[in-house]
């Protein structure tokens, strides 16, 4: 018995958004690691990197909760 494609929870667009979100999260961690201040207490480690990482998690949640346009 093969699953009907209409009943699958995610479409290709959802998976693309998940990969984009994962890339943004990784970018946030890379930005945090680029901080040259001791123990990462500079602007990149405390402000810019975490904001990018949270934005990536928001993209991930949106990709999971997004419903297909036609049902």
Kindly give the confidence (pLDDT) of every residue in the chain, 71 residues in length, as a single tens digit, with 9 standing for 90 and above: 566 666 788 899 999 999 999 999 999 999 999 999 998 899 999 999 999 999 999 999 999 999 877 65
User: What contacts 45, CB < 8 A, 6 or more positions away?
Assistant: 32, 35, 37
* Residues in Cβ contact with 31 at an 8 Å cutoff, skipping those fewer than 6 apart: 44, 48, 49, 52
* Model confidence, pTM: 0.85
CA distances from 6 to 2, 3, 69 (A): 12, 9, 12
CB–CB of 31/55 below 8 Å? no
Token pair 């958004």 is found at 17
């Amino acid at each position: 018995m093969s699953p009907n494609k209409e009943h699958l929870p995610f479409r290709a667009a959802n998976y693309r958004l998940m990969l984009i979100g994962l890339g943004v999260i990784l970018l946030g961690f890379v930005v945090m690691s680029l901080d040259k201040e001791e123990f990462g207490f500079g602007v990149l480690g405390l402000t810019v990197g975490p904001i990018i990482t949270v934005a990536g998690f928001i993209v991930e949640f949106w990709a999971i909760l997004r419903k297909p346009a036609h049902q």
